[in-house]
Each structure stands twice: as structure tokens, then as C-alpha cells.
Chains A and B, each alone.
Chain A
């Protein structure tokens, strides 16, 4: 284009662009020449690298399968894990009871009020209380771990008179009378003879089934054994099955007492999971599981993914939103216009045909260029690492990059809002602005913590909404749900099956959806509010600066 042509194309806008470019560039160069800029960016980089190192370390360890319901433990040390003992109905607190150890079957009893109080035979006697005349006693028998009467070395009964009338022994104890009979007080034993039960006491007898050998299962059988049965494409609301049988108790042997199959979700089907679908027919909005169903899912599939997401969301929220987006502007934005006034260098800039209001906008633009590109660079770095190292079969997790982009952009929005606030403070009160800014920083941090721990509580969410950090965190929550819609399901699974993934702590469904549950609604609301705060603050700074006399 020739010289004249260029002259014609030169509109007011291109001139404005050039002014904006010049001030923005000057601001960037000024910030680059300041030590504090490099210190704060350096500290920020260190923080991110440190978190990245933690992540890489965690990934190298791999996502170890976790025994979410604890049934791989062998609490009584009998060599059988809790899950296997549950299947056979044996007590995992009693090493005497284990799968194949045989179980007791009752043959008869003497009630406290029965007339006939004597029984003879070769039996296993339970809760025997009275006088036993033995023919033979099994000195090695032990019914449970708490039995400690040693029949090979009984104490002599020393008292005179009649047992149960004139004298007593302590509960669970026994002694031998001079005639060879044994006085018993609620003792379990095996032997042949005659038992005379004390008046108003109870005793019973029976026999043990045969012992047989059951191969102890390895503990690993009880880790990830009850995977979540939801296939992500359900029509029926009742899904989920008690894969390991510990709710239905399918292999239960000790059937002599009554129990109810668990139906705590009250849908009439024991041991299932109810998935409640939202009005859109797709989104799961609640999960109600019966006890012990789907409680130990495949960690590689669910917990690994959840923990990976927890890491990303936690770093995004805490490191990016709560730390970087508050500290960067505190160091970089407070003096954007104030310092220039104090130095006297403002005269050079203001003697040019530039409105003071414009000047503020371009200064903030310059600050954003430094702080924003730093944050985007850091989030990109995190994105590259987590998308390559995260769980899953694909080589690169593309959505991770999207999430980090969302976190980066949200942080830029927060940086803009804080930058506008702090710059205005520096302008309105050059002397005390920094102190007010610090107080605001603390307030914002507190509100962020409140927003984080508030989770689904509407009261807390509304109370903390008087802050930039609240809306930034809400925006992250919304964008997470948009990019990873199944985060909601994971969050509900963690809640419903008591999974210790941390997802329910660090992420909650966005609060401000105007009752629609739609993350796009809350994302738009958050963006609008953050932009409003920024605009309002810039407007305030402009009107203060426009009427200010500069000495």
C-alpha cells in the first residue's frame, strides 16, 4: 500500500491501538525491570514446580488399589481375611472361628424354669452352670477365645456346703469338689457325663459339625472385589449388585439366627444401588446404595481417576486461584498508576493526548500481559505433565489440557478483578492502599476457604459470595463439570460408597445454577460477576483519577 493509502486507512481506532500498544508495552517493560516482579514470579514458579514434583512422585508410585471397605484385613490373625470369614459367617474377632473350623449345633437346653434340670451324654456344653459329674473331658477343647478354664489343672472347691446355695464361684470359672464333680459357672466345654443345672440358671448342649479344610484366600481377593456395576447408560434406576456377597450373605452358614437383608434405600430390592437421574434423563444427581454394596470399586478405574482429578482441581483452586491470583496482583498491580504518580514520571505520559481513564485500562492490560501469560504458561506446563502422566489408556489425556486451560483462564479473570481492585486501592489511598489490599487479600483467602469447605451448603455459598475468590472457585467448579461431566457421578459415588478419594472435599457441584443444575448457567453467572467487579473497579479508579490534580 502506498503512503496515501495508508493515510486513508489510518482511522481513530488504529491510532488508539498504537497508544494502547505503547502504554501496554511500556508497562510490561517497566514490570520486567522491577526486582519484585521476578521475585514473585519466581516464587510462583517454585510453588507450581513443587506441586508438579509431588504429582510426578505420586504417579510413579502408581495408583495402588485400595481396600475401600477394609475386608481384606485379617483382624483375628487366623489366616482368613474378613471377607472370607464373612462368607462363612465366622467371627473375625475370634481366631477359634474360621472357615472350615466346624460350627456348633444345639441339641437341647435347660431353661431357668424347667422342672427336669439334669442331662447326661457326650456333648459340647455351652453356658454350663451347675454340677457336672464327668466320665471324660476334652482338655484341649476351646469354644471361643475367651474360654480360659484349664480342665487339666482345676482348682479344688474349698468352701463347705452346697454350690449355688451356700457358695458361688465367679462367672466363667470352675472348681473340682472332693468327690470329683466339677462346679461350673457359665463354662463352655466338651465332655461325657451328667450335668445338674443350678436352679434358675440356663445351660445348653449340642455337637460340633465336622472340621474341614478351607484354603485361605489371599487378601488381594478382597481389594477391588465389588466393582461399581453402573455402565453409564442405564434405563432402570436400580442397578448395582452385591458382587462379593457380603450384603446378601450368600455363603452364610450360621443360619440359626434371624437377619434382614439390607434395603436401606427402601426400594424393595435388598442389596442394590438406586441411581437417581436428573430431569435431562442423563445426569446422575444422586446415588443411594444399600449397605455393603459396590463399596470397593476398581481403584484403577475409579479412585485413580478421582485422585488424578482431585490433584488437578486442588492445584487449580488452591495454587492458582487462592495463591497466584491474589499474590501476583498484590505485588504487580497495586502501584500500576500510583508509582508513576509518586515518581513524577506520570507527567511524560499525561502530556500526551491520552485520556486518564484510557491510561488506567492500558496499564492494567500491561500488568495482565505479564501476570496472565505467566499463569497461562504455568497451567499449560501442568496440563502437559498431567495429561501425559494421568491414568488411562490414551497416550495424552486431551481433556486435561482443556481443564488446565479453563483453570488458567479463570485465574486470568481473577487476576483482572484483583488487579483492578488493587490498582484502584493504590490510586484512592496511595498511603494506606497497601494495608487495605492486605486486608482484602486475607478476606479473599478466608472466603475461598469457606467456599471450599462449604461444599453443597447453600448458606455458606451465599455467605462467601461477597468475594472474588468465591466466584472464581465457582467458575472452576462449573468448568470442571462442563469438561468432565462424569465428575458429578464420581463425586456422588465417593459420597455414596464412602470412598476416600477427596473428590467430595475439593469439588462440589456449582452452587449458583439458578436451580437448574446446569453448569453453563453458573459459569456464565460467575464470568458476568467477575467482569462486573472488574468494570466497576476500573470505573471507580477512572473517576477518581480523572478528577485528581497531579503535582
Chain B
């Protein structure tokens, strides 16, 4: 077992090149406990990082340790790791229960143990009712969940999920998010990657931002976000009466301007997003104007990255 001083995941000055192309560039990280979101646009190096952790790739420089062990050299850490890869392929001819229990047996479980564990995790990810259907007949969300189920079947201490929400409908998304949050609440170390800020935000506060293979930011999402909040931001409000609403907002302190960006749409310009959001409900209620939607078009990963890298990317 790991000694208390060794974090579950330690990445030390790790680099990975594919020929001349950089996958990961001198990344150092130590992660232990709770859910950590690995955030970055496509090609940032998230999958490379995970494949290094899972011993699929050999680091070009630096080192990777899971529970203190080099995963390229030894498969022993996998006893305590569950990995959901980004691959979309599954054994479509198998039933969900078959798939999970067969893979459970690779952990050395007996057929009976594996079957019981499979049933348990399938219930946990909400696939009990379809567990005896062929995977080929599953929806996208079910397929993602069956992948998560296989990774959880041996009750791992570390769970790595590569884009688990990719391509899922909102309902599946919500259910997968709650599964991930539950895992974090159980005290497991969970790494989940995404390129959508909003998704990660709904799962965890602890994030790592990767960009072009480099570690860009690390820490609490809200702390990072606060930095961003002090930057010019837009809030897009869709309403029938944008003008009435505009007059109510323009007098408020955090708002430095309004703009009508088309039929039934009002843009509120602010330098302090949190403050603007805190006055938002009061102003809207007082104005009595009916609101269709509120959006934060600048509150996404791109804006965040743009800000973090100094606006030039």
C-alpha cells in the first residue's frame, strides 16, 4: 500500500514527444484524493497525459508514478486504477453485464464475484435495466456509462476518465456527472478530462489546465475564475423587452455598459462578473421584465485560456 507521504499520482517534469510534435511538455503534478478536472482544448495533451499514466506511452523525459510505481514498467498499479479511455469502440456483440464481468475477471475475480460486482456497478451507473442487452444497441450515453462501469468494477482508488461526457445528451451528462461527484465524495482520486469549462465546473473545483502540452494553471477553479472575473465580460440576456431591462441595469455599479445585439437580446458589459451575477436576480425581479435566458458567452475555456496565456492565443 502507498505510504501516506506518496500522493496517488505524481508526474515529475514529464515530457512526451511524438517525433517533433510535442504531446506533453515538462509537466509536473501531484494529485491525491477528490475529483480533479483536467481541462484543455483538443490537442492540449490531456489524452497523452492519461496514456502516460496508464503505461500506454513511455515518457520521453521525466517520470510518472502511480502509487509510487512506474506504470510503464509494471502493471501492478492497475489493480487500484480504473481507466475510461476515449475510444468509442466496444465489443458490440456482448451484453453490458458480460462486458463488465468479463473485464472484472481480469482482476482475478471468480465468475461469481465478477458477476455480482458487475451487477453492483451497473446499478451505480444506472444501467441495471439494460445490462442484458447487447452493447451494440446502447445509446451514446449508455456506452459512456458502460465504459465507466468497467473501470469501477474492481473498486479502484484512482479513476481516470478521458472525456467521459463527450457526445452525451444532457440527461446522460447529468447522470454521469453525478456518478463522478459520488466517486469523489467516496474519497477516491478521480481525474476527469474535458474541453468544456462548464462541464468541469459542475463536477469539481479542483482543476488542472493544459494548453499546447504545457501546464497552464492548477488549483481551485473559483480562484482561477476570480482572476478571469476582473476582466471585461459579457452577460447575454434574451428577453422580449431589452430596452426596459437595459435602463434598470445601466444604473448598477458593476455594469459599465449595455448593448443591443439583435432582436430580443441585451448584452450587459461588466468588469466584475461575480458582482454582476450577484445583482442580476434583484434587478430582473425589480424590473418585472420576463426573461427567456441568461448566457455568459465569455465564460468558457477559450476565454479563460485567452486570458491565462495573455490574450494572444
Contacts and interface: CB of A to CB of B under 8 A. Distances in A.
Interface of A: 14-16, 18-19, 21-23, 25-26, 29-30, 33, 343-345, 347-355, 547, 549-551
B89 A15 contact: no
B89 A352 contact: no
Contact of A23 (B82, B87, B106, B108): B106
Most buried by B among A14, A21, A22, A26: A22
15 contacts: A18-B105, A19-B107, A22-B105, A26-B102, A343-B89, A345-B87, A347-B83, A350-B55, A350-B56, A351-B151, A352-B106, A354-B106, A355-B75, A550-B57, A551-B57
Given A22-B102, A353-B79, A551-B56, A345 B109 contact: no
A216 to B, nearest CB: 76
Contacts of A547: 58
Contacts of B58: 547, 549
Contacts of B107: 19, 352-353
Given A351-B54, A353-B79, A345 B90 contact: yes
Contact of A352 (B93, B94, B103): B103
Given A351-B151, A551-B56, A18 B109 contact: yes
B89 A345 contact: yes
Nearest to B98: A29
B110 interface: yes
Interface string B55-91: 1111000000000000000011011011101011111
A305 B87 CA distance: 61
B150 interface: yes
A29 B108 CA distance: 19
Contacts of A347: 54, 56, 83, 85, 87
A18 B76 contact: no
A345 B91 contact: yes
Contacts of A345: 87, 89-91
Contact of B106 (A14, A19, A549): A19
Interface string B279-307: 00000000000000000000000000000
Most buried by B among A19, A26, A354: A26
Given A345-B91, A350-B56, A355-B75, 9 more contacts: A15-B108, A18-B109, A19-B108, A22-B106, A344-B87, A344-B88, A350-B55, A353-B106, A549-B58
A348 B150 contact: yes
B105 A21 contact: yes
Contacts of B78: 351-354
Contacts of A348: 85, 103, 150
A130 B89 CA distance: 108
Contacts of A551: 51, 56-57
B91 A18 contact: no
B91 A351 contact: no
Interface of B: 51, 54-58, 75-76, 78-79, 81-83, 85, 87-91, 93-94, 102-103, 105-110, 150-151
A353 B54 CA distance: 11
A19 B91 contact: no
Contacts of A23: 106
Contacts of B82: 351
A34 to B, nearest CB: 10
Contacts of A18: 105, 108-110
Most buried by B among A16, A29, A33, A350: A350
B265 to A, nearest CB: 43
B75 A30 contact: no
Contact of B89 (A26, A344, A353, A549): A344
A140 B93 CA distance: 95
A18 B78 CA distance: 16
A30 B98 CA distance: 13
A447 to B, nearest CB: 38
A262 B90 CA distance: 80
Most buried by B among A345, A355, A549, A550: A549
Nearest to B55: A350
A26 B89 CA distance: 16
A352 B153 CA distance: 11
A32 to B, nearest CB: 9
A347 B88 CA distance: 11
Contacts of B51: 550-551
A551 B108 CA distance: 26
A19 B75 CA distance: 14
A513 to B, nearest CB: 46
Nearest to A25: B102
A22 B113 CA distance: 13
A30 B151 CA distance: 21
B75 A549 contact: no
A30 B56 contact: no
